[in-house]
């Protein structure tokens, strides 16, 4: 029988990587606390309608990428492809608009999209997600962008580029859509197949196409900025000036439209120069019409999502500080025939006193245990050989300096604690 492998596009995050994730999440939690975002934990599956209405039927995510199935109760269920729609659903469901506004929420966890797997692109991947709900003030956009940049700053990342644009609102976007459609129609034969299909339905999406021919055409496409209504133009000016006041280095990119339909006004993306083809670490923006799209009242919102795998790849590529790989303070070594309980008791007492400790379970020789202690990066070893067992003592060795001494069994913990502090 063939052995069973993980499904295509999924990956096991093993012990040599998971501690790097812990660092990303620690830093994120710190930023969330400092900016006043409260953590929420939302379901991994939702009613399919939440996404088809919330994200938009004509988006790649909804059209091609969702994991949708009928459950045993005949409901159409979808594994969440992103968190924003769920956040807004939870906000509405728990009547949060009657609380003091805005609500600043964050969450993280696995997302699912049926995509072509490659480096930095998976079918199950994790996102960190921050949302500010209930505020239309452009300074909320500035704060969201700043909070995402603060995470990368604290992680020590460099070589990032922040791109920003406005995608307008339902008042001014139709006119821009017409302008753009007219522009692309004249050279429709040069567009790729999927863009020719988008020409009628959603010409803005052509700006996002990565095909060289389409890209060349978009170079001279009319800019959305020229079509913005007064409200959107002022909003955009306040956001860009606000970011400038914070000293943020952002670049206008009139081609940035983002893949999801619910965006209004601000759209932004952060690209990493160390990611290769899948270069976006973060995407976000304002979505003032999402709550209504899923059947709620008008609730303005702005947020971002960032891919954890892509953050970790960038950290590794840049040699950023990845956190401390957990290593035992003490490895407790005992001779095979005797002292097994002693080792267990000492390890227990060390842990109880706040130190980390590990021991052997494989009946290895003292020499092999010493080798493992050193491989595991233990700071100290505590040795109970036959003679120590007989005399009620233990050997304590500092692995960095090689210094060792014999101490009464009862003072092992105190002895090591003193040395460590
Ligand atoms: P891309 O253009 O790379 O497909 P996207 O615009 O679809 O990105 P968003 O929906 O904005 O991405 O999601 C926000 C972030 O989540 C991205 O910037 C990226 O870091 C991460 N991300 C999105 N899709 C994947 C995936 N399939 N695998 C890993 N990370 C992903
Ligand atoms: Mg995508």
Q: How many domains does the chain have?
A: 2
Structure tokens of 316? 């590794």
- 314 shares its domain with 344: no
195 falls within a domain: no
Alpha helices in 164-283 (DSSP H): 173-185, 193-201, 212-218, 230-245
Residue 399 in domain: yes
Q: Which residues line ligand 1 (CB under 6 A)?
A: 82, 113, 115, 120-122, 125, 127, 259, 278, 280-283, 305-307, 309-310
Q: Is 192 a member of any domain?
A: no
Assigned domain for 211 exists: no
- Mapped onto helix, strand or coil, the DSSP state of residue 189 is helix
Contact 165, 207 (CB under 8 A): no
Helices and strands (H and E) in the chain: how many: 15, 16
| Ligand 1: residue whose CA is nearest its atom 26 | 121
**How many angstroms separate the CA atoms of 8 and 32, rounded?**
33
CA distance 335 to 392: 14
Contacts 24+ apart (CB under 8 A), 138-141: 138/235, 138/236, 138/238, 138/239, 138/242, 138/265, 138/266, 139/238, 139/242, 140/102, 140/302, 141/235, 141/239, 141/242, 141/265, 141/266, 141/285, 141/286, 141/302
Nearest CA to ligand 1 atom 22: 307
Question: Are 340 and 273 contained in the same domain?
Answer: no
Kindly state the DSSP code that residue 214 receives in the 8-state scheme: H
| Together in a domain, 108 and 238 | yes
Is 205 in contact with 261 (CB distance < 8 Å)? no
In this structure, which residue's CA is closest to atom 7 in ligand 1? 259
What ligand has the least distance to the C-alpha of 116?
Answer: 1
Nearest CA, atom 24, ligand 1: 121
How far is ligand 2, taken at its centre, from the CA of residue 363, in Å? 51
β-strand pairing of 280-286 with 264-272: antiparallel
The answer as to whether 101 is a domain residue is yes
> Do 365 and 266 reside in the same domain of the chain?
no
| 374 and 239 together in one domain | no
The verdict on residue 202 lying in a domain is no
Ligand nearest to the CA of 272: 1
What is the number of the ligand 1 atom nearest to the C-alpha of 115?
A: 27
118 secondary structure, DSSP code: B
72 and 163 part of one domain? yes
The ligand 1 atom at the shortest distance from the C-alpha of residue 123 is 27
With respect to residue 291, please indicate whether it lies within any of the assigned structural domains: yes
Closest protein CA for atom 21 of ligand 1: 307
**Nearest to 377, CA basis, from 322, 321, 324:** 324
Are residue 74 and residue 165 in the same domain, yes or no? yes
With contact defined as beta carbons under 8 Å apart, do 89 and 46 qualify? yes
CA of 61 to the centre of ligand 2 (A): 7
**Segment-wise mean pLDDT, segments of 10 residues, the chain, 421 residues:** 95 92 97 98 97 83 92 97 97 97 98 96 98 98 98 96 95 91 90 86 84 87 94 98 94 83 90 90 96 95 98 94 86 77 92 96 93 97 92 95 95 95 84
Question: For the domain that residue 414 is a member of, what is the CATH number?
Answer: 3.40.50.800
Give yes or no: residues 416 and 277 share one domain.
no
Q: What CATH code is carried by the domain that includes residue 25?
A: 3.30.930.10
Is the peptide bond prior to 113 cis by the omega test (within 30 degrees of 0)?
no
Q: Which of 318, 350, 379 is the last residue of a domain?
A: 318
Clarify whether residues 46 and 69 are in a common domain.
Answer: yes
61, 256, 283: residue to mutate for ligand 1 pocket, most atoms within 8 A of CB: 283
Q: Which atom of ligand 1 is nearest to the CA of 284?
A: 11
Domain boundary among 293, 318, 343: 318
The C-alpha atoms of residue 155 and residue 131 are separated, in whole angstroms, by: 21
Find the DSSP H helices in 105-211: 138-154, 173-185, 193-201
- Tokens at residue 264, please? 């209004």
What whole-number distance in Å separates Cα of residue 72 and Cα of residue 163?
Answer: 44
Measure 77 CA to ligand 1 centroid, in angstroms.
21
357 CB-near residues (< 8 Å, 6+ apart): 328, 329, 330, 331, 332, 346, 347, 350, 351
Alpha-carbon span 333 to 170, nearest angstrom? 70
| Nearest residue (CA) to ligand 1, atom 12 | 283
Please tell me whether residues 123 and 33 are part of one structural domain.
yes
**Rounded to whole angstroms, how far apart are CA atoms 313 and 281?**
10
Whether 278 contacts 263, CB under 8 Å:
no
Distance, CA 327 to ligand 1 centroid (Å)? 33
Ligand of minimum distance to the alpha carbon of 308? 1
- Sign for the CA dihedral angle at 386, 389, 391, 395 comes to positive
Q: Which two tokens stand for residue 259?
A: 């893949």
The whole-number pLDDT of residue 337 equals: 62
Which among 40, 87, 248 has a CA at the least distance from the CA of 162? 248
Centre of ligand 1 to C-alpha 394, Å, is: 54
Q: Are residues 24 and 144 in the same domain?
A: yes
Ligand 1 centroid – CA 415 distance (Å)? 51
What is the residue range of 364's domain?
330-420
Residue 354, in any domain of the structure: yes
Ligand 2 centroid – CA 263 distance (Å): 15
Give me the pLDDT at residue 276, please.
86
Domain end residue (candidates: 318, 339, 358): 318
CB count in 10 Å sphere of residue 149: 22
Tokens matching residue 61: 């995510």
Q: Whose CA is nearest to atom 28 of ligand 1?
A: 121
Ligand 1 centre from 117 Cα, in Å? Answer: 12
Distance in Å, CA 307 to ligand 1 centroid = 6
Within this chain, do residues 269 and 347 fall inside the same structural domain, yes or no? no
Q: CA angle, corner 110, sides to 104 and 111, nearest 5?
A: 90
């Amino acid at each position: 029988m063939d052995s069973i492998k993980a499904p295509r596009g999924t990956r096991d995050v093993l012990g040599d990587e998971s501690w790097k994730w812990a660092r990303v999440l620690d830093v994120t939690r710190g930023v969330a606390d400092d900016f006043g975002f409260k953590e929420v934990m939302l379901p991994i599956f939702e009613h399919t309608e939440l996404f088809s209405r919330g994200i938009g039927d004509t988006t790649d995510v909804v059209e091609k990428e969702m994991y949708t199935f009928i459950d045993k109760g005949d409901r159409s269920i979808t594994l969440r492809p992103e968190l924003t729609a769920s956040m807004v659903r939870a906000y509405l469901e728990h009547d949060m608009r009657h609380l003091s506004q805005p609500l600043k929420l964050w969450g993280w966890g696995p997302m699912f999209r049926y995509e072509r797997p490659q480096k930095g692109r998976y079918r199950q991947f994790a996102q960190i997600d921050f949302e500010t709900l209930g505020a239309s003030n452009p300074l909320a956009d500035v704060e969201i962008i700043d909070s995402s940049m603060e995470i990368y700053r604290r992680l020590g990342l460099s070589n990032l580029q922040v791109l920003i644009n406005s995608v307008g609102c339902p008042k001014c976007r139709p006119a821009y859509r017409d302008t753009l459609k007219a522009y692309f129609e004249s050279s429709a034969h040069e567009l790729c197949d999927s863009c020719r299909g988008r020409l009628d339905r959603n010409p803005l999406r052509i700006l996002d196409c990565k095909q060289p021919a389409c890209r060349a055409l978009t170079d001279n496409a009319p800019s959305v900025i020229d079509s913005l209504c007064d409200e959107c133009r002022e909003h955009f000016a306040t956001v860009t000036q606000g970011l400038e006041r914070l000293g943020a280095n952002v670049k206008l990119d009139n081609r940035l439209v983002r893949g999801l339909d619910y965006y209004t006004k601000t759209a932004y993306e952060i690209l990493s120069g160390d990611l290769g083809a899948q270069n976006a670490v973060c995407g976000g923006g304002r979505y003032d019409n999402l709550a209504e799209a899923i059947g709620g009242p008008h609730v303005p919102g702005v947020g971002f999502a960032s891919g954890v795998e892509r953050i970790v790849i960038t950290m590794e590529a840049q040699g950023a500080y990845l956190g401390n790989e957990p290593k035992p303070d003490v490895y407790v070594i005992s001779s095979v025939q005797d002292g097994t309980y002693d080792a267990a008791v000492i390890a227990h007492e060390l842990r109880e006193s706040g130190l980390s400790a590990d021991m052997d379970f494989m009946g290895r020789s003292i020499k092999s245990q010493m080798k493992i202690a050193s491989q595991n990066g233990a700071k100290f070893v505590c040795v109970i050989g036959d003679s120590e067992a007989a005399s009620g003592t233990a050997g304590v060795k500092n692995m960095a300096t090689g210094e060792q001494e014999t101490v009464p069994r009862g003072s092992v913990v105190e002895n090591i604690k003193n040395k460590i502090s």
